[in-house]
Structure 1
Amino acid sequence: MYGFTTTIQGSSFDEVLAHTIQALKEEGFGVLSDIDVQAAMKDKLGVDMPRYRILGACNPPLAHQALQAEPDIGLLLPCNVIVREVSSHEIVVGFLDPQVMVGLVGGAGVKAVADEAEQRLRRVCTQLGGHTSSV
């Protein structure tokens, strides 16, 4: 398993995206990057697809701790969060499980950061509501 998701029904993509960003903020995460995959696929390949965004979420104190424990951990940062449209009123929000970092890097310092980041991201997932699952 590499992540966890929640599927939200009855809300628009824009509503879920805004709620996700706000819930991340409440847990101390800012959004450093916002990749519009739908627009990129249309622009680069001429392909139409449902709305899909990749948010690069960062909690600065946790990122700093991780970088102190393992300077090259930046290869695995920030925490990716996806918001993708299944249908006009079914949206999936997915979170990369920070424990993936521990499996790749190891080390007690990274484990402590991953534990804290996972707890915060799981609270965001819960706050969004919907049906949760692992991926």
Structure 2
Amino acid sequence: MDYGFGVRLGRPFAEAVEAVTAALKEQGFGVLTTIDIRATLREKIGEEVEDYVILGACNPSLAHRALRADRRIGLLLPCNVVVRADGDGAVVEAVDPQVLVALAGSDGGLGEVADEAGRRLRAALGSLRD
């Protein structure tokens, strides 16, 4: 099952994180959370992985519409966007909002919100292409 979409960037990890954050902002998303997987795994269990962050992206208007349609949808929010180092570049991947709707079970109007969120996330990632 494919549950996301992404792009590979020919730029360093730190530059990619900045570019992704700016691209998300252009599409109305703010980054609510930044989880540094590399630092967490190193600190908590002594394991090393490549630079890897999970950005919790939220478009307040879309989140509000989703919550009006299904109050439990907060369990599946925000939309996660991953940025990870890959050789001399970076990979950026976003969760497909339609997969989140499928997990929620009943649509109740969530499908339209997921369509718009997906369009905006794809546009953000598409704007990053080298």
| TM-score, shorter chain, exceeding 0.5 | yes
The corresponding residue for 2:62 is 62
Question: 3-state DSSP class of the match of 1:42?
Answer: helix
Shift of 1:108: 4.1
The corresponding residue for 1:47 is 47
The corresponding residue for 1:33 is 33
Q: Return the alpha-carbon distance in structure 2 between the equivalents of residues 52 and 65 of structure 1.
A: 30
- The 5 A counterparts of 1:74-89 are 74-87=74-87, 89=88
What CA deviation, in whole Å up to 9, does each residue of 1:32-59 have, x standing for no partner?
Answer: 0000000000000111111000000000
Q: Return the alpha-carbon distance in structure 1 between the equivalents of residues 25 and 70 of structure 2.
A: 25
Assess if the C-alpha contact under 8 Å between 1:101 and 1:110 holds in 2. Answer: no
> Over aligned residue pairs, what C-alpha RMSD do you find?
0.9
Assess if the C-alpha contact under 8 Å between 2:82 and 2:93 holds in 1. Answer: yes
Question: 3-state DSSP class of the match of 1:123?
Answer: helix
The corresponding residue for 1:98 is 97
- The 5 A counterparts of 1:96-135 are 96-105=95-104, 106-130=106-130
Q: Normalised by the size of structure 1, how large is the TM-score? A: 0.92
Assess if the C-alpha contact under 8 Å between 2:83 and 2:93 holds in 1. Answer: yes
Q: Which amino acid aligns with 1:114?
A: A
Question: 3-state DSSP class of the match of 2:127?
Answer: helix
Q: Which amino acid aligns with 1:44?
A: K
Q: Normalised by the size of structure 2, how large is the TM-score? A: 0.95
Matched, 1:7 2:8: yes
Q: Which amino acid aligns with 1:28?
A: G
Q: Percent identity?
A: 48
What CA deviation, in whole Å up to 9, does each residue of 1:62-85 have, x standing for no partner?
Answer: 000000000000000000000001
Aligned length: 128
- Unaligned 5+ runs, structure 2: none
